[in-house]
Amino acid sequence: MKVCYLDAFSGISGDMLVGAFVDAGADGQEMIETLSALNTGATFRVEKVKRNGIAGTKFHVDGTDSKKHRHLPHIVKMIEEATLPAEVQRQSVAVFEKLGEAEAAIHGVPIEKVHFHEVGAIDSICDIVGACLGLHLLGVERLACSAINVGSGTVKADHGVMPVPAPATAELLKGLLVYSAGPATELCTPTGAAVVAALGSEFGRMPAMRIDACGFGAGTKDFKEMANLLRVLVGEDGSIPEASRVRIVEANLDDTSPQVVGHAMERLFAEGALDVTVQPVAMKKNRPGVKLTVICRPEDWTRLSRVVFTETSTFGVRAYEADRLLQQRHWEEVETRFGKVRVKVGGPDSFAPEYEDCRALAVHAGVALKTVLAEAAAAFLAQRT
């Protein structure tokens, strides 16, 4: 699987995305010819520039736009009527729908009534479609992004002077990892945030990958304190398909009843925990207790911590990141004299009959669970030979 990682150390915008994709190997001429299918009357060019001494590619959209305020249906129609690859059309519409949802939430109006201001201008439309086209030209199937530097200070918009990140940008960045560093200016624009929010599948550390190409997309300004560039890394997915980062949340409990701990475990699983365990520990003043451990996705840890606080007596939790490697696995089905059983299969010698299937058959047949488990394992091994 082809992976693209966006390193947004100096923010992210639509034109930076397009420039970075061209810099990483997307055909610039094909990019220009395909974007012309939008029939906007604009012209396009790519230019090699330097930002704080580092070379990158700047994407330009040239031409005047007499109509800068557009509704979502008008933009969607423009995209759907253009001769664009189907996936580019789908992704471009998805990005604008994400933008529309953010604007609707900010202004308190239905999405179809949203007026796109700056992002409804021709250059913004071409930037977004160009970013989706860049992903297509590079064959990217999975998009990941670092924590995003949003900048600081204020930005002047159609609604007046606003703090950075602007309201729509902040709405789009909900759930994503962000921080503020560098010059007091807007580094993350609504177009950049919308592309990442709509198309990104993971955020934070770079995923396991074999890097094939690297590109830099240049922003308009040239800062003294940092290179105003967006870096993209493109390559093949790592050899371990399910290598990922997880968050581990722990709490020591010495005054919570076993029934409450059991209920807390059920709640945590229901709220999306990847795994929950409890083990006995000796606590201060020689009190026996248990350590509750929750393994979860990084973006879920604060929500699951609230469940721990709500359902147990703890006043604090510990949290840290860890690597998680999962063996590739799939399901196979075997026939036993008690009925069908699913078997989870990993490596050549790694398999396990599904507990719930075996338990249900054991209860129905009135036999011991271990009998069904053993027969399912034997049936699987016989099926393999």
How would DSSP label each residue in 183-222?
SSSB-B-HHHHHHHHHH--EESSPPSEEEEEEEEEEPSS-
In a shared domain, residues 29 and 140:
yes
In a shared domain, residues 215 and 94:
yes
User: From first to last of its 385 residues, what are the pLDDT tens digits of the chain?
Assistant: 899 999 999 999 999 999 999 999 999 999 999 999 998 889 999 999 999 999 999 999 998 665 667 888 889 999 999 999 999 999 999 999 999 898 888 878 888 777 676 666 888 899 999 999 999 999 999 999 999 999 999 988 776 788 999 888 999 999 899 999 999 999 999 999 999 999 998 888 888 889 999 999 999 999 989 999 999 999 998 755 556 789 999 999 998 899 999 999 999 999 999 999 999 999 988 889 999 999 999 989 999 999 999 999 999 999 999 988 777 778 889 999 999 999 998 866 789 999 999 999 999 999 999 999 999 999 999 887 7
Assign residue 261 the CATH number of its domain.
3.30.70.1380
Closest among 163, 56, 166, 54 to 119, alpha carbons compared: 166
- By residue range, what is the domain housing residue 289? 244-324
In this predicted structure, what is the pLDDT of residue 359?
95
In a shared domain, residues 137 and 204:
yes
How many domains does the chain divide into? 3
**Following CA atoms 231, 319, 272, 6 in sequence, which dihedral angle do they give, to the nearest 10 degrees?**
0
Q: For residues 67 and 42, what is the distance between their CA atoms, to the nearest angstrom?
A: 13
Percentages helix, strand, coil for the chain (3-state, rounded to 5) are 40, 30, 30
Q: For residues 229 and 57, what is the distance between their CA atoms, to the nearest angstrom?
A: 9
Among 237, 267, 299, identify where a domain stops: 237
In a shared domain, residues 38 and 109:
yes
Dmax (CA) for the chain in angstroms is 79
In a shared domain, residues 180 and 301:
no
Asked whether the whole model's pTM tops 0.75, one would answer no
In a shared domain, residues 215 and 101:
yes
In a shared domain, residues 162 and 287:
no
Among 272, 292, 324, identify where a domain stops: 324
In a shared domain, residues 365 and 308:
no
Half-sphere exposure (Cβ direction) of 239: Cα atoms closer than 13 Å: 0
In a shared domain, residues 108 and 214:
yes
In a shared domain, residues 261 and 141:
no
Among 305, 324, 343, identify where a domain stops: 324
pLDDT tens digits for range 3-22? 999 999 999 999 999 999 99
Residues 6+ apart with CB under 8 A from 362: 338, 368, 369, 371, 372
In a shared domain, residues 264 and 359:
no
Q: For residues 114 and 117, what is the distance between their CA atoms, to the nearest angstrom?
A: 9
In a shared domain, residues 307 and 345:
no
CB atoms within 10 A of CB 35: 23
Q: For residues 262 and 258, what is the distance between their CA atoms, to the nearest angstrom?
A: 6
